[in-house]
Amino acid sequence: MSNLSSPPKLRTRKPTGIIPWPVILIEGEEKAGKSHTAAAFTGSDKTGQAYWLELGEETAEEYINVPGADYELIEHNGSYRDILGQIEAVHAEAVRAARAKEKPVVLVIDSVSNLWRMLVNWTQVRAQRSLAGRKKLEADPDAEIKPTMNLWNDAGERWARVMYLVRTMPGIVILLARGKEVAALDDRGEPIPRAKATDWRVEGHKSLAYDATVWVRLRREVDPQIVGARSLKFTVPRSAKKPMHVADFTIEHLVFGLMGCSIHNQPKVTPELTGDLAQVWDPKVKAAAESGVEALKKLWWDAEKESGLDREELAIIRHAIERKAAELSNPKKLDDPTSDAARLRAAAAQVRDEADTSAEFDAAA
């Protein structure tokens, strides 16, 4: 008798052909109308509630006066964690609306250029406060500190977490970004001398264009351009130098006209990709820990009842819950440098240092 277990049962279905809601990248020059165009779309009678996430821009308060605009302004404290949490909240609302067969939720992020700039600045600060960075700055306060690859990977991971929520949101997402014409560079990254060659640069992570379903460019004295699109309904020239010009561009015409999306055909909610099911429980454990030990106990039994977990995944979740419970029961105490105990320890350390120095001097003598 073979001890090998039977293979998993194959699960398949026929594709529906439904067109998913798009992620629309709208980039371009300053004052070209990016925010105005997004605001005008938020009041479409073909969409549900619209949310506006403002990151480093100052237009959302005023642009509610744009004809047709109708959105809720998302509040956040400026930190990555809070911004991510608010995007997760919109994602959850979009999932709820999709399952209820309601009109699609709309999310405007203004701008993703500032989101990436924030992560770049965070990476630079981390490099400066590292041990190597501090030593270098002590020797030369104006020294250049280059972040190491692990720091850039952390920034890229934070960007990816936001974009994963964006791509899997069962609603319409509009990403506003800054774009501009720049001097063409050679293979070494140096400007090409005595040449009029130019390139177009979009400010953001290098994967930004891949994350978008449709890429739109707005310029002040040129008709709106569709640079690229994943669509079977219309074709965009492959040459980046010859984008598709659209004279009377609106986001509503793009989504419900050119792309052929329909509020009557909701796409299937995309399942979250995860290395193992225990990973999905990480935010649940953190949230329960904020409520206290009793919440962690309840989560323990919830995990026990979860039928989809295997033994290893359940053990990982239990260990995470136990660790959080132990931290709550025995919180780490932070030393107060002004306390009597701290001053005594500092004095004792000074005495030891002086004794060591005296011994070294006597030995040398």
Q: What is the pLDDT of residues 324-334, one digit of tens each?
A: 999 888 876 66
Confidence of residue 364 (pLDDT cuts 50, 70, 90): very low
Shared domain check, 324 and 250: no
How much is the mean pLDDT over the chain?
86
Shared domain check, 163 and 296: no
CA distance 22 to 44: 15
CB 250 within 8 A of CB 218: no
CA distance 164 to 93: 16
Predicted local confidence at residue 25, as pLDDT: 97
CB 42 within 8 A of CB 69: yes
Reduced to 3 states (helix: H, G, I; strand: E, B; else coil), residue 42 is coil
Residue 325 dihedral angles phi and psi, to the nearest 5°: -65, -40
Shared domain check, 89 and 213: yes
- For 93, other C-beta atoms within 10 Å of its C-beta total 17
Confidence of residue 217 (pLDDT cuts 50, 70, 90): very high
Residue range 145-171: mean pLDDT, rounded: 94
Does residue 147 fall inside a structural domain?
Answer: yes
Predicted local confidence at residue 16, as pLDDT: 87
- Whole-prediction pTM: 0.78
Shared domain check, 55 and 175: yes
Shared domain check, 281 and 213: no
Predicted local confidence at residue 330, as pLDDT: 82
Shared domain check, 29 and 111: yes
Residue range 80-94: mean pLDDT, rounded: 95
The least confident of 154-158, 249-253, 254-258, 333-337 is 333-337
Treating both helix axes as pointing N-terminal to C-terminal, what angle do 149-167 and 112-128 enclose, rounded to 10 degrees? 160
The least confident of 107-121, 163-177, 244-258, 320-334 is 320-334
Does residue 128 fall inside a structural domain?
Answer: yes
Confidence of residue 155 (pLDDT cuts 50, 70, 90): very high
Predicted local confidence at residue 350, as pLDDT: 63
Does residue 270 fall inside a structural domain?
Answer: no
Q: What is the pLDDT of residues 26-84, one digit of tens each?
A: 999 999 999 999 999 999 999 999 999 999 888 999 999 999 999 999 999 999 999 99
Question: 39 lies in which domain range?
Answer: 23-258
Shared domain check, 89 and 59: yes
Predicted local confidence at residue 344, as pLDDT: 64
Shared domain check, 283 and 241: no
Shared domain check, 297 and 150: no
DSSP E strands in 61-207: the ranges are 72-73, 106-110, 172-183, 198-202
- Percent pLDDT > 90 in the chain is 58
Task: Enumerate helices (H) and strands (E) in the chain, giving the number of each.
Answer: 13, 9
Residue scoring higher pLDDT (320 or 362) = 320
Residue range 106-119: mean pLDDT, rounded: 96
Confidence of residue 347 (pLDDT cuts 50, 70, 90): low
Q: What is the pLDDT of residues 290-303, one digit of tens each?
A: 889 999 999 989 88
Shared domain check, 138 and 59: yes
Q: How many structural domains are present in the chain?
A: 2
Residue scoring higher pLDDT (38 or 360) = 38
The least confident of 36-45, 62-71, 170-179, 235-244 is 235-244
